[in-house]
Amino acid sequence: MLQRDACLIINAGSSSLKFSVFLGSGKAELEAVINGQISGIGTEPRFLAKDASKRVLADQALEQSDRAALLGFLLRWIEREAEGVRLVAAGHRVVHGGTRFAAPVRLTPEVLAELEGLIPLAPLHQPHNLAAMKALAEVFPALPQVACFDTAFHQTQPWQSQTFAIPRELTEEGVRRYGFHGLSYEYIAQRLPQVAPELAEARVLVCHLGSGASLCAMRAGKSVDTSMGFTALDGVPMGTRPGSIDPGVLIYLMRQKGMGADEIERLLYHKSGLLGVSGISNDMRDLENSDAPAAAEALELFCHGVAKQGAALAGSMGGLDAVVFTAGVGENSTLVRSRVSEKLGWLGVTLDAAANRAKATRISAADSRIPVFVIPTDEERMIASHTLDTLAHGTARHALLAAE
Ligand code: ADP
């Protein structure tokens, strides 16, 4: 049977591992054929896989418990069920590349050791990203792996966007603003000129509003500033995270309530944001469907936070030429887009209500000074494209060295 090269993309979290399979050996021809996840890792693992038309291919409980065994299962399943697919590479979403990694990198033992050194910067995410890489290397050592970083896209930012006003020695130690959701912003930076070629050089505010949410100020497709900082806690309110909070609150909690680091971490990562304010849910859909005043307040706080950060980021760019909404809330919530745009009205943003309801690509009114777009993000495709590029260039460089 004719076999086609394919790339496995992995986004590994604490209890779940999301995956996709892309066919193709060049980025122009990448075709997403399967996606799914292994959930309940460490408790009751379950496997779900769908094809490109969202047809369920598998939905079953799994016996295996450790990551290597689960990845082994996934590889065997792909080999058996995805006809004609031959995996030639794996690409991983890795939350932190520190200051060292400004681009995707092929995994080697040295790279892995450097990435392990970054665990203190992202203790809730980085260990799981790396565990998946190590497990995959164990079960399929010949498969080349590439790490793609959520921080890398923001390395183009000027010094003043990356630096906290704290003593220099702390900055030099790495206590600085890194920014996240970079793979999503990079995808949008590539898509926007296809949708609106006249905006290739523009100052664009990209609102990545998902369960984690951040904003990026982008000029000519490069990150100039972003709302997340040292960790993914800063910026706008999120599903369960507060966004920007006066650091004095944390000192108060430590002194007056005797809270320790772990308790504060739980408060900030899991109990705040939409969930904390509404007391109902971290999911925007639930808040939109609720009549409870606290749900309306949570929604208002979210939109206020996005508009306020958006205005600040327009300042970082020295003006605003376009706005893009993306990710779960940004792509799907007519109400959030409408509220945020209203609050940015003074900057020249006016929506076309019907286009907004219809989720058109361009949702601004014909006479809006600032065009507004809804562009679905695709971080997995970005990783697949980076993985192929990184391996192709690595091979080319090796060939060059051999010829010398
Ligand atoms: P993640 O950060 O987990 O990748 P997503 O980008 O997938 O998050 O966004 C998930 C969130 O999107 C959900 O928690 C929900 O709040 C929101 N969402 C999804 N669909 C809708 C919808 N139709 N209306 C409002 N919000 C939605």
Q: What is the homologous superfamily of the domain 4-149+382-398 according to CATH?
A: ATPase, nucleotide binding domain (3.30.420.40)
Closest C-alpha to ligand 1, atom 14: 283
Distance 294 CA to ligand 1 centre (A): 19
**C-alpha triplet 159, 163, 164: angle, nearest 5°:** 160
**Residue 394: its pLDDT value, please?**
66
Cβ-in-10-Å burial (0-12, 13-18, 19+) of 115 comes to buried
Which positions of the chain have pLDDT values less than 50?
395-404
Quick check: do 4-149+382-398 and 196-370 share a fold? yes
Mutate to test the pocket of ligand 1, among 211, 241, 287, 338 (most ligand atoms within 8 A of CB): 211
Q: Which two tokens stand for residue 28?
A: 């122009």
- Residue 394 CB neighbours (<10 A): 14
- Residue 319 CB neighbours (<10 A): 12
**Residue 399: its pLDDT value, please?**
40
Q: What is the homologous superfamily of the domain 196-370 according to CATH?
A: ATPase, nucleotide binding domain (3.30.420.40)
Q: How far is the C-alpha of 236 from the C-alpha of 230, rounded, in Å?
A: 14
Distance 251 CA to ligand 1 centre (A): 32
Pocket of ligand 1 (CB under 6 A): 210-212, 239, 283-285, 288, 327-329, 332-333
Question: Is this structure's pTM higher than 0.75?
Answer: yes
**Residue 359: its pLDDT value, please?**
92
**Residue 402: its pLDDT value, please?**
37
Contacts of 321 (CB under 8 A, 6+ apart): 199, 202, 203, 204, 370, 371
Distance 331 CA to ligand 1 centre (A): 8
Q: Return the closest-CA partner of residue 81 out of 63, 101, 57, 55.
A: 57
Distance 99 CA to ligand 1 centre (A): 30
**Residue 82: its pLDDT value, please?**
81
Options 150, 234, 321, 378, the catalytic residue = 150
Taking only the tens place, the pLDDT of each residue in 242-271 is 999 999 999 999 999 999 999 999 999 999
Mutate to test the pocket of ligand 1, among 329, 332, 336, 378 (most ligand atoms within 8 A of CB): 329
**Residue 103: its pLDDT value, please?**
95
Asked whether 107 and 387 are in contact (CB, 8 A), the reply is no
Closest C-alpha to ligand 1, atom 12: 328
Distance 332 CA to ligand 1 centre (A): 7
**Residue 395: its pLDDT value, please?**
47
Which residue ranges make up each domain of the chain?
A: 4-149+382-398, 196-370
**Residue 64: its pLDDT value, please?**
81
Mutate to test the pocket of ligand 1, among 333, 336, 383 (most ligand atoms within 8 A of CB): 333
The reply to whether 150 belongs to the active site is yes
